[in-house]
Amino acid sequence: MNDLALSVRLARPEDAADLARIYIESWQDTYAGTISHALLAAMSLKGHTARWQAAIKGNDRGAVLVAEDATHGAIGLCSLGAVRDGGLGFDGEIYTLYVDPAFLGRGTGRTLLAGAFEVFKDRKLRSCLIWAHAKNNACFFYEAMGGRRVATRTTRLMGELTPEVGFGWKRLATKKQTRTTQS
């Protein structure tokens, strides 16, 4: 069921609390049973709101996008910028892509990914990398959207050693190509 009227835009500082809520709820939904309950429960709206405000204000180094629906408001977020690990041959990196758990499966992730690719193209970046927790169901989404598994690593996520998978797009889909793959 995709009855949403979605749009994607650059986030504004006043979006920070909504983005923090989406981020926290997404983590608590996605990582329950994977990351310790104590760490997930300790995520604070106040702390994450400040973090998102800083990310939005510092968008000269990257960009923060918000997906919103005409009825429900902000329901997804994406942060992106230059690739942080240049050893894999990608230009841009999507640092975060989260959708309010109540709106999963309704096109928000796809819309955010397409919006991120457009920002990369505007900035003359031709390829993209996304790192995902190896046990995150988003891995299936990234593959369905054309991402290829290009690397693995172990990093620290909230203090815990965490296996991650890197998904890469050597050539970013245009809006027309994205629409074609949806049909």
Domain spanning 6-182 has what CATH number? 3.40.630.30
Nearest to 130 by CA among 168, 162, 86, 89: 168
Contact 103, 39 (CB under 8 A): no
Q: What is the pLDDT along the chain (183 residues), one digit of tens a residue?
A: 557 889 999 999 999 999 999 998 988 888 787 777 888 888 889 999 999 999 998 766 789 999 999 999 999 999 999 998 877 899 999 999 999 999 999 999 999 999 999 999 999 999 999 999 998 889 999 999 999 999 999 988 767 788 999 999 998 875 543 332 332
The domain segmentation of the chain, as residue ranges, is: 6-182
Q: Give bridge partners of residue 76 from the DSSP assignment.
A: 67, 99
The model's pTM is 0.87
Count CB-CB contacts under 10 A for residue 144.
Answer: 11
